[in-house]
Amino acid sequence: MPQVTDEQVKILVTDIATALVGTSEGVSVEQFAEDGEIVFELTVPEPAMGKVIGKSGRTAKALRSVLDAIGEAQQKRYVLDIVE
C-alpha cells in the first residue's frame, strides 16, 4: 500500500462524515498527536449525530475500522473521537 499522509486520512474522515450528514455545514475534523496516536476529533451538528454514530454505534464502529486498517498498513495508530 502506498504511503498515506495523516492529512489525507483527515480528508477521508471529513468526506465520509460530510456524506453521512448530507452537508459540510458544521462538520469539522481536528487532528492532533497524543501518546503516540493520531487523534481525529470529529465535530458534527447535534441533529446529525445519529447519522454519524448509526444504529447501536455501527456506523461509528465501521469508520473506526477503516481508520484501524489504514493505521495498520501505515504502522500508526489512529483514533476517532466524535463530539458535538
The whole-model pTM stands at 0.92
Determine if residue 75 is left, alpha or beta; phi over 0 gives left, psi from -120 to 50 gives alpha, anything else beta. left
2-11, long-range: CB < 8 A, 24+ apart: 3/74, 4/70, 4/73, 4/74, 6/31, 6/38, 6/76, 7/31, 9/38, 9/40, 9/67, 9/70, 9/78, 10/40
Q: Write down the pLDDT at residue 21.
A: 94
Q: Write down the pLDDT at residue 84.
A: 81
Per-residue pLDDT in tens (0 to 9) along the chain, 84 residues? 678 999 999 999 999 999 999 998 999 999 999 898 999 999 999 999 999 999 999 999 999 999 999 999 999 999 999 998
For the chain, which domains are there? 6-83 (3.30.300.20)
